[in-house]
């Protein structure tokens, strides 16, 4: 008796979960782990790495959670701002949900920790930027993508959608489609 093949976009385990960023068919588990570790490293680098964050980031899937929970110093946002090549201050404010005035106050206290929400949004933006950099091949191209209206996002700029968790999910999904060559 012939077994049914799984539907497109479904995992082979038949659980009905859509294929995700790390679930590329035909890619070995070790290659996926390498991509994940490289992405984690890029995100940590955008936030200043161990020198700014104050501790090394592990390579496990929960390490980002534990890092954010323990606290990320204010100066990580400053490092992120200085890491941007094209994107302006206003876009960074919008992406991480921290106003210019608040950022200026935080610069005066670089060792103070961001709130969990602020740290989470900063990490999330750095992660999206790292993923976009992989997709577009260069950080300046990725930053420009965030600021341009996208057909697949109903002519909304990706940066404008980062204000809500639902919007972040839409941007992540769109970025994943672009990675696989699906433009709309």
* Neighbouring C-beta atoms of residue 43, cutoff 10 Å: 24
Nearest to 121 by CA among 148, 85, 87, 93: 93
pLDDT digits (tens, 9 = 90+) for 75-97: 999 999 999 999 988 999 999 99
pLDDT digits (tens, 9 = 90+) for 128-152: 999 999 999 999 999 999 999 999 9
In this predicted structure, what is the pLDDT of residue 162?
96
Banded pLDDT at 13 (limits 50, 70, 90)? very low
pTM of the model: 0.80
DSSP letter at 70 equals: H
CA distance 157 to 159: 5
In this predicted structure, what is the pLDDT of residue 2?
42
Q: How far is CA 107 from CA 54, 70, 81, 101, in A?
A: 16, 20, 11, 10
* Neighbouring C-beta atoms of residue 158, cutoff 10 Å: 25
* Neighbouring C-beta atoms of residue 154, cutoff 10 Å: 9
DSSP letter at 10 equals: B
Q: What percent of the chain has pLDDT over 70?
A: 80
Mean pLDDT of 56-74: 86
In this predicted structure, what is the pLDDT of residue 107?
82
Banded pLDDT at 29 (limits 50, 70, 90)? low
Residue 30 has pLDDT above 60, yes or no: no
Q: Residue ranges of the domains in the chain?
A: 29-130, 148-184
Q: SS in 3 state form for 140-184? A: HHHHHHHHCCEHHHCCECHHHHCCCHHHHHHHHHHHHHHHCCCCC
Cα–chain center distance at 7 = 28
CB 99, CB 118: distance < 8 Å: no
Q: Side-chain half-sphere of 106: how many Cα atoms within 13 Å?
A: 22
């Amino acid at each position: 008796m012939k077994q049914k093949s799984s539907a497109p976009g479904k995992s082979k385990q038949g659980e009905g979960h859509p294929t995700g960023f790390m679930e590329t068919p035909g890619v070995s588990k070790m290659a996926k782990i390498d991509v994940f570790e490289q992405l984690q490293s890029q995100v940590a680098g955008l936030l200043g790495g161990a020198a700014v964050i104050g501790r090394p980031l592990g390579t496990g899937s929960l390490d980002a959670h534990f890092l954010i929970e323990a606290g990320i110093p204010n100066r990580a946002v400053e490092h992120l701002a200085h890491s941007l090549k094209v994107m302006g201050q206003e876009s960074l404010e919008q992406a991480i949900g921290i106003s210019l005035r608040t950022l200026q106050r935080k610069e005066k206290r670089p060792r103070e920790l961001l709130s969990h929400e602020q740290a989470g949004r900063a990490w999330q933006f750095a992660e999206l930027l790292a993923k976009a950099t992989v997709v577009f091949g260069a950080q300046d191209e990725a930053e420009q993508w965030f600021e341009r209206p996208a057909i697949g996002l109903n002519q909304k700029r990706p940066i404008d959608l980062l204000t809500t968790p639902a919007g972040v999910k839409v941007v992540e999904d769109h970025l994943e489609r672009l990675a696989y060559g699906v433009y709309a």
